[in-house]
Amino acid sequence: MQFWKFSTLAIAALLASVSLVTAADEPAIALADSAVLKLTAANFKETLEQNPLVLVEFFAPWCGHCKTLGPQFAQAADDLSVSLPKVKLGQVNCVEEEELCKKHEIRGYPTLKLARGPYQQPDEYDGPRDADGIIDYMQKMSQPPVNIVADVASFIEKAKAEIKPFVVQVLPKAAHAASAALNETFGEIAHLQRRHRTHYSLEDDKAIKAFAKLTKADLSGDKAKYLLVHPGKLDDVRVFDSENLTQELFAEWVSNALVPDFGDINRDTYMVYMGSTLPLGYYFYNTAEERAAVEEFFAKKGKELRGKISFVGLDATQFGRHAEILNMDPEIVPLFAIQDNSNGRKYGVNQTEHPSPSTETIEAFIDQFLAGEAEAIVKSEPLPTPEDEDYDENVTKLVAHNYDGVLADESKNIIVEYFAPWCGHCKKLAPVWTELGAHYKDADESVVVAKVDHTLNDVDVPHNIEGYPTIILYPAHGAKDPKTGLRLGVVYDKGRDLESFKEFIELTKVSGTEEVADAVEEDAPEAVEEDVEEHDEL
């Protein structure tokens, strides 16, 4: 559930514009004497067969961002050719190699992919795009995903020196024979996460005992255990307590275990909190003294309630307006609020009754929330009336107060536009949406064309809203999410013209929620969205 993002796009755009100016005269294509391999359809597979690790840039010579990346990519290739000669960087010119780029589903430039052999689909590259960053990334990718501990003394020194959280597999000798599948799964997990954290495997009983003494963790028994260790906190490890080790379960557990018992959200820690699936309790403060006064309380509660809820501090002098996103008054600080990331609902200590809530008040509120007794603060526009300035008789206006009621009618095929008032693409869509509503009002009463201002109404959506407009069709008598009970919809991603919408609706009415998008014409114009990120406060 996406709940907030930093407003960094303006800075990024400025930096990008500066980069493009300085790179305007630089070629996107690496010079002939550089270490960058020129990859074509004729040599692509052979190159991957002969080299265990290849970073491939799919580019177009006219692309400004490719020109910016070009010199950095070439510099990284040249340096790696000396330090790690088995690691290669290569380029595919998509203007000349159109079919090869189509095969690898290249939709924008530059696209970077990491290849490990010719028989596996290359992975998306998610690393930096400067020379030093590329070199560091490729060095990490060239190492084994799991570090098997051979010297426990050396490992303990490394563990003490780690500056990022790391993961340890504890595999006692008694578990070796029965743990082949677990070991393989852990290797796959480590492979996927190696850029973000280091993975160790303790497989010697003496080494396990030594590490147990250091961490004060119970590592006895004859079954594998998995630990996440925060730097500087070797005596307070997080233990994965499920015997069912799968990539999905472990990834979710790690995303939550990475969150400290109590910390601050800022630009450095943002992604850690963003990745957690747990409810998040926010304490807004104005001064360092206010934060210090609750530090011990929240650290204790965070440890006590691990796996249930996380707690975080937020400096209101910098990020106070985020309180509005939580449906709280940013002018009344300190304040405490909770966002349930499973459904996006917000809860807060009453600011009128408790303008500066005590830890006792906060603790009682946390207990109330965990017991399911807290009442959510719902943001909603007023119910629509024909007298409203934006009233449209052809389009049903949804607000938080009527949203559930409209979607509860499962006899209707309901297509909803989730929009933002500042969104230019939404404004352009408005007359088409009215025309679509008018068509179905006359042609088919089972189809409801609706819209909701997603910035002013808290509504439950079965999909992440990452850009505007997002359009979702909920088929009549369609499937529901077994966990939430929400109607499952089909996200529309084709052209924004009347005929494309009508064709999509007619196909969906026939086909239900399965593979509807694939049935719409492939050559329909691609939809464009405005990213939510551009207009979020924090």
Which residues have a catalytic role annotated? 63, 66, 423, 426
Q: Please, are residues 68 and 23 in contact by the beta-carbon 8 Å criterion?
A: yes
Q: Where are the beta strands (DSSP E) in 94-137?
A: 111-115, 123-124
Helices (H) and strands (E) in the chain, counts: 18, 22
Instruction: Give the residue carrying structure tokens 């992604």.
Output: 271
Two tokens, residue 129: 């795009």
Residue 484 CA neighbour count, 13 Å, CB half: 15
Two tokens, residue 362: 């906060």
Phi-psi region of 257 (alpha: psi -120 to 50; beta: other; left: phi over 0): alpha
Query: Which alpha helices (H) appear in 227-287, and where do they start and end?
Result: 247-257, 270-275
Residue 221 CA neighbour count, 13 Å, CB half: 10
CA distance 262 to 489: 37
CA dist list (Å): 533 to 326, 357, 425, 536: 17, 31, 15, 5
Nearest alpha-carbon partner for 170 in 215, 200, 129: 200
